[in-house]
Amino acid sequence: MTRALTRALTRIAVLAGVLLLAGCASGTTAELGRAAPDRTSITTRGVGTVAGTPDTLTVVLGVQTRAASAADALADNNTRTGGLLDVLRGRGVADEDLRTSGLSISPTFETDGRISGYEVTNEVTATLRDIAGAGALVDAAAQAAGDAVRVQQIAFAIDDDSQPRAQARADAVRQAVTQARQLADAADVGLGPILSITEVSGGRPPAPVTRDSAAAQAAVPIQPGTQDVSVTVEVVHAVAA
């Protein structure tokens, strides 16, 4: 075996060891693979996260009514839900931002198992695009339904997240490329051109913020805070000969 071949094999062995250790590090994955026949590669992942300010609020408002008969419970519910929708529309919420997200009619029972009446629940999901006035709007809509209202949940979102997402994407690529350079330097090999860049899908959606019906009896304070936009990319570099 020639001295040059021995050095080459030693470099590859060191590279495999470094990449194996790097793959165990938090927030980074790296592996020694074959991007093409007889071509060694370095694979790294980068995560870019940018905080954005939410500009929309989705609120789920439930109207729950009870009566001795299903027809009476439904009629009462229709009246109260209609009043709630009138308030939302009157405050500028567009029809396309309103939808019925749940409707149920079920019996209620006495302790001995006999049917005592019926309960109707109607859920309306509204997307509010004026966060500054969202608290007063939710309060007014809740009052329109009276004691039957149930504020089920609220969730903030960024309607157009293209700008923070583009920045997060660029940050993720830079991070992955930096990691690849560090791995190549540690293994004493040259870093070749990028063979592929893949955006990795996944991640959990923002968790909704829940409020119970008691909180709806007073003016509702709304604080959107910030929301993270994250992008994960996988970059594959060739190892230079």
Residue 21 to residues 17, 42, 50, 90, 183: CA-CA distances in angstroms? 6, 13, 28, 61, 10
Q: Alpha-carbon distance 32 to 11, whole Å?
A: 12
**Of 91, 107, 95, which is closest to residue 140 (Cα–Cα)?**
91
From the options 3.40.50.720, 1.10.357.10, 3.30.70.2970, 3.10.20.600, give the CATH code of 56-157.
3.30.70.2970
Q: What is the DSSP letter of 221?
A: -
Q: 203 in helix, strand or coil?
A: coil
In this predicted model, what pLDDT tens digit does every residue of 105-128 receive, in sequence order?
999 999 999 999 999 999 999 999
Which residues lie closer than 8 Å to 95 by C-beta, 6 or more apart? 89
pLDDT value, residue 99: 95
* pLDDT surpassing 60 at residue 178: yes
pLDDT value, residue 202: 64
CB atoms within 10 A of CB 16: 14
pLDDT value, residue 147: 87
Place 38 in a pLDDT band, splitting at 50, 70 and 90: low
Q: Alpha-carbon distance 210 to 13, whole Å?
A: 54
In this predicted model, what pLDDT tens digit does every residue of 181-224 receive, in sequence order?
999 999 999 999 999 999 998 644 444 443 333 333 344 566 67
From the options 3.30.110.170, 2.60.40.1190, 3.90.550.60, 3.30.70.250, give the CATH code of 3-52+161-204+226-240.
3.30.110.170
In this predicted model, what pLDDT tens digit does every residue of 59-114 receive, in sequence order?
999 999 999 999 999 999 999 999 999 999 999 999 999 999 999 999 999 999 99
- The overall longest dimension of the chain from CA atoms, in Å, is 95
**Domain ranges (residues) in the chain:** 3-52+161-204+226-240, 56-157
- This prediction has a pTM of 0.60
Tokens representing residue 157 in the block: 């979102």
